[in-house]
Amino acid sequence: MFRLVARISTRHPWLVILGWVVVSVLIVATAPKLSATSDQSEFLPKHYESIKAANLQQKAFPTQSAPAAILVFDRQDGKPLTDADSADVQAVVKGLTPKIATPFRGIAAQPAAQNKLVQIAVVGTAKDKNAYDKPAMDAAKKLRKDAKPLVADTDLRLGVTGPAAQSLDSQEASANAEAIVGIATVVLILLLLIIIFRSVLIALMPIIIIGLISQVALGLVGAANKVFDLKTDSSIQVILIVVLYGIGTDYILFFLFRYRERLRAGVESRQAVFEAVERAGEAIASAGGAVIVSFMALILSSLGIFRAIGPALAIAVAVTVLAALTLVPAVVALLGTRVFWPSKAWKQEPESARFAAIGGALGRRPAVFATVSGLVLAVLALFALGFNPTFDLGDSGAPKDVESSVALKTLQKGLPAGATDPTSILLTSKDGRPVDKAATATFAADLAQAQGVAQVAPGVPNQDGSAVIFNVYLDHDPTSDASLADVKGPIRTTAHKAAPSGTQALVGGTTSVFVDFQKAMNRDYAVVFPVAALVIMLILALLLRSLVAPLYLMVSVGLGFGATLGAAVIVFQHIQGKDGLIFLLPIYIYLFVVALGTDYNILMIARLREEARSGRSSRDAAAEAVKHAGPTVAAAGVILAGTFASLMLGGNSLLVAMGFSISFGIIVAAFVMAMFFTPALTALIGHAAWWPGHGDETVEESAGSGELVGTGAPAP
């Protein structure tokens, strides 16, 4: 198959390039735009309590609106509000009433806080509308614009927070992060490729090619989301940029290093392209296949966010692999050796023998290399046991200096933090009869005593009295770990136990959604990781025709995962003193460190097998593999780690933790796992590593013993 692909790319390069351009234009012109949501309830299955409560609320209270935005007023001098200030608040609300835009509905000022330091006005959400969608964010932006002039001539200071405003700030922060990460990624790739190849054209080629295929990938992802009704969160486009440029550059390097090697062997340019595709194609396709499978395993998740992000990333990688095997060779076939312009260094093997020396030392003492590198991974992995997940998504969304965050802090001067997004508790009759009013009052009193509850608003019955809704204001920010712990434990327990006979209580609201999100994540960890590991092992077994090598390769990748998580624990929990790390971090480490670590292992082990097939012993084959594949793995690892490190410029704690952890994990995968641990183990295990297919054997058999050259046995 790779011979056919190589033949097409080298004989008809213009047709291949034209085909890519035409397909790209068609997809970009017709594909729907990739949209995102911040409403985490859209990612949960319907059997969770928070979703049951939301559905019941929509049915029993169709006219009741949830808070979409909250205007927070305080004095500019920080003193208590006066009656004149409260009158100004009412005037602002009156002035905004005719300007409220869909999907907002209505605005009402609330009494000043008991200590008079703050006063709020609440904007509702229209029926069947979502406070987290783009129309609500646009309405929040308009609300801010309309409100600011109304307080200009007063002593008041105004900030807008609440779900829509927080989503808007989070989206804008993500957009800023996308721009910053995109620029940093491109600049880094340019610099590193110029340093590695000393070529302007090679430095520009990945930027131009990946810029083209990124539009194809984004278009296909948008189309898939529309067809299968998938939801994505606001971070997906930032991650897609890093994946496309990072992995795309890696696969281009896999090809270019092999192309340069064939040129140095004296092969003519187009024939060198043909042989590079033929020889590197299997490693690129297998590595890409392992990554795609890792991502697609997320469709087994119970959470919509991962069921969407898995296929999205898989589509991006599939497009990248296809381009690396067709478009890149076609461009190089046209340019020939001019692709290295202005450098002439491609003509000779470099005098530096660092990788040859490392390979030689590894071939002589594989046990030392395997032991030391394995111990480094194991020691770091031990720290992963101290990983403390935090579900404080508020700390991981918008930066702390944006308006919604500042307004929330202001609100907390006089009101409970939970006032921005009350927890809804619904008490419903099991037989459809009206709920007893006395029992309702008792239920509210019991709720007020629960840990974490600051205030319980009076219950509001629906039209037939069969359901009563209570707005509960929590002590802490609704997305904080403290609020999640309170809702998960005492609040839900109290609500369920205090429900009068013949009724049931359901706890809803954003905090309850995050509690169920946590439960779903724990389930997914137990399902997705093992399935992905098994499928990757199957791919490795098919590629290597071995049942032994995939076992220790997956052990290597597993140690790399543990070492990466352990390093994050050391840096953020032990050194920086954070209480915990965002609960999404392990699955992102799995997505990139496990999948991409397998890439580098495949590249190294495939080269090792190739050297063994040429007649070398297992130790000599390992030495040659490190000598020839080591520079490729090192360059690819540095570039990919650098692209993910750019996420640390994204401005929130999730992207900072992701950027550090993934870049560190890729360095570990490239320079510890693939460079030392995997080839050293293979050299130690020898011919048995390839059982039962024995893919290391040459074609020639020993005439007397039937043993094959390349197994470490004497040649005939």
Per-residue pLDDT, 76: 93
The percent of residues above 90 in pLDDT, for the chain, comes to 30
Q: Report phi then psi at 546, rounded to 5.
A: -140, 150
Give strand pairing partners of 107: 123
What are the Cα distances from residue 689, in Å, to 287, 545, 607?
19, 10, 14
The pLDDT-based confidence of 175 (bands split at 50, 70, 90) is low
The torsion angle over the Cα atoms of residues 506, 511, 515 and 516, rounded to 10 degrees, is 60
Q: Which residue is it, tokens 């478009």?
A: 327
Domain boundary assignment for the chain: 1-30+199-341, 65-161, 355-386+529-716, 422-514
The pLDDT-based confidence of 476 (bands split at 50, 70, 90) is confident
Mean pLDDT of 380-393: 84
Per-residue pLDDT, 235: 59
Strands 156-161 and 119-125: unpaired
* Least confident range of 38-47, 138-147, 308-317: 38-47
* Least confident range of 554-558, 597-601, 680-684: 597-601
Question: Which of 152-155's residues contact partners 24+ apart within 8 Å by CB, and which partners?
Answer: 154/85, 154/88, 155/75, 155/76, 155/77, 155/85, 155/88
Count the Cβ atoms, other than its own, within 10 Å of residue 287: 29
Give 623 or 179, the one with higher predicted confidence: 623
Mean pLDDT of the chain: 83
Per-residue pLDDT, 705: 35
CATH of the domain spanning 422-514:
3.30.70.260
CB 103 within 8 A of CB 135: yes
* Least confident range of 129-133, 205-209, 396-400, 571-575: 396-400
Fold annotation for 1-30+199-341: Multidrug efflux transporter AcrB transmembrane fold (1.20.1640)
User: In this model, does residue 67 exceed pLDDT 60?
Assistant: yes
Per-residue pLDDT, 424: 92
Per-residue pLDDT, 704: 36
User: In this model, does residue 436 exceed pLDDT 50?
Assistant: yes
How far apart CA 97 and CA 95 sit, in angstroms, is 6
Mean pLDDT of 395-401: 61
Per-residue pLDDT, 398: 60
Per-residue pLDDT, 695: 63
Looking at the structure, give the CATH architecture of the domain made up of residues 355-386+529-716. Answer: Up-down Bundle (1.20)
Cβ partners under 8 Å of residue 384, min gap 6: 562, 563, 565, 566, 569
Per-residue pLDDT, 374: 93
Per-residue pLDDT, 231: 61
Question: Given phi > 0 = left and psi -120 to 50 = alpha, else beta, which region is 663?
Answer: alpha
Per-residue pLDDT, 177: 62
CB 410 within 8 A of CB 120: no
Question: Which of 45-51's residues contact partners 24+ apart within 8 Å by CB, and which partners?
Answer: 45/302, 45/520, 48/516, 48/519, 48/520, 49/492, 49/506, 49/507, 49/508, 49/512, 49/516, 50/507, 50/508, 50/509, 50/512, 50/513, 50/515, 50/516, 51/513, 51/516
Per-residue pLDDT, 399: 65
Per-residue pLDDT, 712: 36
Cis check for the bond before 586: say yes or no (omega within 30 of 0).
Answer: no
CATH of the domain spanning 65-161:
3.30.70.1320
Per-residue pLDDT, 706: 37
The pLDDT-based confidence of 696 (bands split at 50, 70, 90) is low
User: In this model, does residue 505 exceed pLDDT 50?
Assistant: yes
The pLDDT-based confidence of 482 (bands split at 50, 70, 90) is confident
How far apart CA 632 and CA 279 sit, in angstroms, is 14
User: In this model, does residue 160 exceed pLDDT 90?
Assistant: yes
The pLDDT-based confidence of 145 (bands split at 50, 70, 90) is very high
The pLDDT-based confidence of 352 (bands split at 50, 70, 90) is very low
Domains 355-386+529-716 and 422-514 share a fold: no
Per-residue pLDDT, 121: 92
Q: What is the DSSP letter of 416?
A: -
State the amino acid at position 5 in one-letter form: V
Structure tokens at 15: 């047709």
CB 455 within 8 A of CB 114: no
User: In this model, does residue 609 exceed pLDDT 80?
Assistant: yes
User: In this model, does residue 545 exceed pLDDT 70?
Assistant: yes
pLDDT digits (tens, 9 = 90+) for 643-691: 778 778 766 677 788 889 988 998 999 999 999 999 999 999 988 888 8
CB 652 within 8 A of CB 173: yes
